[in-house]
Amino acid sequence: MAATPHIITFANEKGGSGKSTSAVHVAIALAVGGRRVSALDLDPRQRTMTRYLENRVATTKRAGITLATPRFETITSDSPAEFEDRLAALGAEADVVLIDTPGRDDPLARLAATRADTLVTPINDSFIDLDLIGQVDPETYRVRRPSFYAEMIWEARKVRAKADGATVDWVVLRNRLQQLAARNMRRVGAALDELAKRIGYRVIPGLSERVIYRELFPKGLTLLDVSYLEGVGLSHVAARQELREMVAGLALPDWPGSRPAAAVERPAREPSLL
């Protein structure tokens, strides 16, 4: 039994960033890799992660196959006490607990950020999504200052450090990357790298813009379930590789193929004062 499971929180106040899709794929990748994984969905209205995993369970029953599937639950209230109880119960039998938060400002999402060992913020590769964490000059495309979400994460990190002295590894996940490099893509990347040095997060590539990720949802399958997919081609192989690279980039403890987390100098001041 894992005494202290590794907690991964996927959080972004902006919807449409691929947050739940990324969360589900990481959870299943870890389960396929032999980890005992539990998943906690904090969005009782959308329930995207829960629906995905329910579809996966239904597929195993319908097709008579075995698919590695995390244990999962959905929080149905906004009670911090219930959140703590469910997190403790799920963590008691898991090596990793993955939390998927709503795409909005939410009290439990903020609480989940303070409990994270790894905090993942998926963003689309655009200045619209970048504005969530940093304001950019319209002429130079240089970062002016961190935004409200970066300040919220800063506060969550301080709460965690005060509680048990632990450090929250903040990872910004660049989702929906285009296959061909473009000027906008380079500008977004440069701004993200500049801001990372100021407020202390890591940037890793996420999932590209591929139709296959949406097509897999009804059956609850992922690119790691290749033997159960129809018409597998080179695009599936490439997508599976980017999924593996994404999981490795999270640099989870004792995970095969993980790349060590890059040393990031922690800022000495509040993001709003930089």
**How many domains, in total, are found in the chain?**
1
Q: Look up the CATH number of the domain holding residue 170.
A: 3.40.50.300
Question: Is the pLDDT at 96 greater than 90, yes or no?
Answer: yes
Q: Is residue 10 part of a domain?
A: yes
pLDDT at 219 over 90: yes
Residue 174 lies in a domain: yes
Does residue 69 or residue 198 have the better pLDDT? Answer: 69
Q: Could you tell me if residue 1 is inside a domain?
A: no
> By the 8 A CB rule, do 120 and 22 touch?
yes
Indicate whether 89 pLDDT > 70: yes
Paired with 145 in beta bridges are 135
pLDDT at res. 42: 97
d(CA 104, CA 45): 12
pLDDT digits (tens, 9 = 90+) for 98-142: 999 998 889 999 999 999 999 999 998 888 888 888 888 888 888
Residue 166 lies in a domain: yes
Encode pLDDT of 137-182 as tens digits: 888 888 888 898 999 999 999 999 999 999 999 999 998 766 545 7
pLDDT of residue 179: 54
33: Cβ–Cβ under 8 A, 6 or more apart, which residues? 255, 256
Residue 86 lies in a domain: yes
Q: Give yes or no for a contact between 173 and 206, defined as CB atoms under 8 angstroms apart.
A: yes
Residue 250 lies in a domain: yes
Quote the pLDDT of residue 3. 62
Domain containing 47 equals 6-273
In a domain, 215, yes or no: yes
